[in-house]
């Protein structure tokens, strides 16, 4: 188990690319029990449960920092 510190404005690097556009980066628009994410490639937004999201995250980018220590 690992808990990620994910906040609004962070960019998540996902394990899998977004089908269709090929981007694996998602910006966090809203963080709560569900995350609202916007794809960096195509701009589509969608909701995903936090638990599901965390399993798919490789790295969290905040500003210039890579929090995946
Ligand atoms: Zn996309």
Q: In this structure, what DSSP letter does residue 51 have?
A: H
Give the number of other CB atoms < 10 A from CB of residue 52: 10
Q: What is the Å distance from ligand 1's center to 49 Cα?
A: 18
Q: What is the Å distance from ligand 1's center to 27 Cα?
A: 11
Q: What is the Å distance from ligand 1's center to 3 Cα?
A: 25
Q: What is the pTM of this model?
A: 0.85
Per-residue pLDDT tens for 12-46?
Answer: 999 999 998 999 999 999 999 999 999 999 999 99
Q: Which of 45, 41, 49 is nearest to 6 (CA)?
A: 49
Q: What is the Å distance from ligand 1's center to 40 Cα?
A: 6
* Residues paired with residue 4 on neighbouring β-strands, in sequence order: none
Per-residue pLDDT tens for 53-69?
Answer: 999 999 999 887 676 65
């Amino acid at each position: 188990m690992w808990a990620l510190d994910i906040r609004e404005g962070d960019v998540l690097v996902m394990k899998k690319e977004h089908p269709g556009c090929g981007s694996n980066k998602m910006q966090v628009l809203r963080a709560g029990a569900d995350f609202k994410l916007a794809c960096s490639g195509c701009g589509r937004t969608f909701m995903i449960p936090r638990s599901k999201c965390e399993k798919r995250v490789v790295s969290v980018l905040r500003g210039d920092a890579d929090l995946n220590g």
